[in-house]
């Protein structure tokens, strides 16, 4: 690759990365773009969390090509010390790029060694690797990117080779671009989490783990829904970028509800429940000035995530300027939206939020078993939930379980 082509590629990737706001999707993209640029078969990206390296994304073309989507390992829970005992730990602690031509022939004098356990468990053969830290201008290490098995040759006849010196130069520039994009996304996530922590001061159920699970469930459900409709990958991922963040903010309107109601350890009275329903409107008001796609999606979710497929939910048909009801039934109750009148993002979050609530321990209840939760979802098809979304949710259940294990309650 010539210098001009490398520069063009860096500029193209820089533009792509800076269009992604969500940290999780950005990490996937950083890893993918790096792999494609240097033809790496596999790789992982770690971020620094509580002075440890935590794996945030893993990709492996060889292992994944014959696996159904719902059987791929997407959400791993692996952490490493930031020290010299592992290659990634060494890269982080010393701020150095490490290029190894054969992982099984690392010199015994090296402070780090390669663990073959992953290869033994999966049948994969790791050979070449290149690992490099993501370091800010303030000399803070944000994470480490590790790429495996550089490929040479035509598709279908590739052979594994060592990463080249020119790959090192390219990835050095790439690391700088990826670090800036990651800093920006982390700042956006920090603002988002401050809003969520504010809500959690009022409602203890709104934990970071809960909103991360709901947001990540929502993205996986939407991707499967979009695939059924042959929506393009670029369009799908752009939508998911907003969906995850907006889904995490689904209950932010609870900041406006009294503690007496939010923290009541017993069933709410009818009057208290009517007050609680107001959190949908309060949340929507926070996004009234729709200055971005994120605002629009977040408003729909905040307002409509308690609508039911059969029209029995709330707040229903309302004037979105005055919030006055527009369609009272014979009992004086406002008529809820039905079916596909409910925005797709709200239908998805409704399902994901209820699933997580049933699956989690609360001060007033134990968690339901996996079988009980699945049965409840099946029983609620066509009444509370969009039947197709329930079908998709149960279809990707192995991924749902990975997400639960990845974002555990403290």
Q: Average model confidence (pLDDT) for the chain? A: 92
Give the pLDDT mean for 88-111.
96
pLDDT grade, residue 320 (50/70/90)? confident
The reply to whether 44 falls in a domain is yes
**How many other CB atoms are found less than 10 A from the CB of residue 378?**
13
Distance CA 338, CA 327 (A): 13
Distance CA 373, CA 287 (A): 32
pLDDT grade, residue 205 (50/70/90)? low
- Do 219 and 171 fall into the same domain? no
- Do 291 and 370 fall into the same domain? yes
Distance CA 122, CA 141 (A): 30
Q: What is the pLDDT of residue 328?
A: 79
- Do 150 and 237 fall into the same domain? no
CATH number at residue 28: 3.30.450.40
**How many other CB atoms are found less than 10 A from the CB of residue 352?**
26
- Do 60 and 179 fall into the same domain? yes
- Do 99 and 208 fall into the same domain? no
Q: What is the pLDDT of residue 155?
A: 74
Q: What is the pLDDT of residue 364?
A: 60
- Do 145 and 287 fall into the same domain? no
pTM, 2 dp: 0.90
Q: What is the pLDDT of residue 195?
A: 86
DSSP string, 60-79: EHHHHTTS-GGGS--S---E
- The 10s digit of each residue's pLDDT in 54-65 is 999 999 999 998
Q: Residue 273 to residues 71, 260, 266, 321: CA-CA distances in angstroms?
A: 40, 12, 12, 23
pLDDT grade, residue 384 (50/70/90)? very high
Among 152, 186, 220, which residue terminates a domain? 186
CATH number at residue 276: 1.10.3210.10
Q: By residue range, what is the domain housing residue 22?
A: 3-186
The reply to whether 10 falls in a domain is yes
């Amino acid at each position: 690759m010539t210098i001009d082509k490398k520069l063009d590629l860096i500029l193209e990737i820089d533009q792509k990365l800076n269009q992604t706001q969500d940290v999780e999707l950005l990490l996937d993209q950083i890893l993918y773009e790096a792999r494609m640029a240097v033809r790496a078969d596999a790789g992982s990206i770690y971020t620094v969390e509580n002075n440890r390296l935590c794996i945030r994304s893993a990709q492996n073309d060889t292992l994944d090509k014959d696996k159904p989507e719902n059987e791929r390992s997407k959400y791993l829970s692996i952490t490493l010390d930031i020290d010299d005992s592992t290659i990634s730990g060494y890269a982080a602690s010393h701020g150095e790029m490490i290029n190894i031509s054969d992982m099984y022939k690392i010199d015994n004098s090296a402070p780090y060694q390669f663990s073959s356990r992953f290869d033994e468990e999966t049948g994969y053969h790791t050979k070449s690797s290149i690992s490099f830290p993501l370091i800010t201008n303030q000399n803070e290490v944000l994470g480490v990117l590790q790429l495996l098995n550089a490929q040479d040759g035509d598709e279908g006849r590739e052979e594994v080779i060592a990463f080249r010196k020119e790959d090192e130069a390219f990835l050095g520039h790439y690391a700088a671009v990826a670090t800036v994009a990651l800093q920006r996304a982390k700042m956006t996530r920090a603002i988002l989490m401050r809003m969520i922590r504010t809500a959690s001061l009022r409602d203890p159920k709104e934990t970071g783990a809960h909103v991360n699970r709901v947001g990540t469930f929502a993205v996986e459900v939407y991707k499967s829904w979009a695939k059924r409709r042959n929506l393009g990958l670029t369009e799908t991922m752009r939508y998911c970028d907003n969906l995850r963040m907006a889904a995490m903010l689904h209950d932010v309107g609870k900041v406006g509800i009294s503690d007496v109601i939010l923290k009541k350890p017993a069933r709410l009275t009818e009057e208290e429940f009517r007050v609680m329903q107001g959190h949908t409107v309060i949340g929507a008001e926070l996004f009234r000035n729709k200055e971005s796609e994120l605002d629009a999606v977040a408003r729909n979710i905040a307002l409509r995530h308690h609508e039911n497929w059969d029209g029995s939910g709330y707040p229903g048909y309302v004037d979105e300027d005055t919030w006055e009801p527009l369609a009272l039934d014979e009992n004086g109750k406002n008529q809820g939206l039905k079916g596909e009148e409910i925005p797709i993002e709200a239908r998805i979050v409704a399902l994901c939020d209820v699933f997580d609530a049933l699956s989690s321990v609360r001060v007033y209840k134990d968690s339901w078993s996996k079988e009980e939760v699945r049965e409840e979802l099946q029983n609620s098809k066509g009444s509370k939930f969009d039947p197709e979304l329930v079908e998709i949710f149960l279809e990707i259940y192995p991924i749902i379980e990975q997400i639960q294990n990845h974002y555990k309650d403290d």
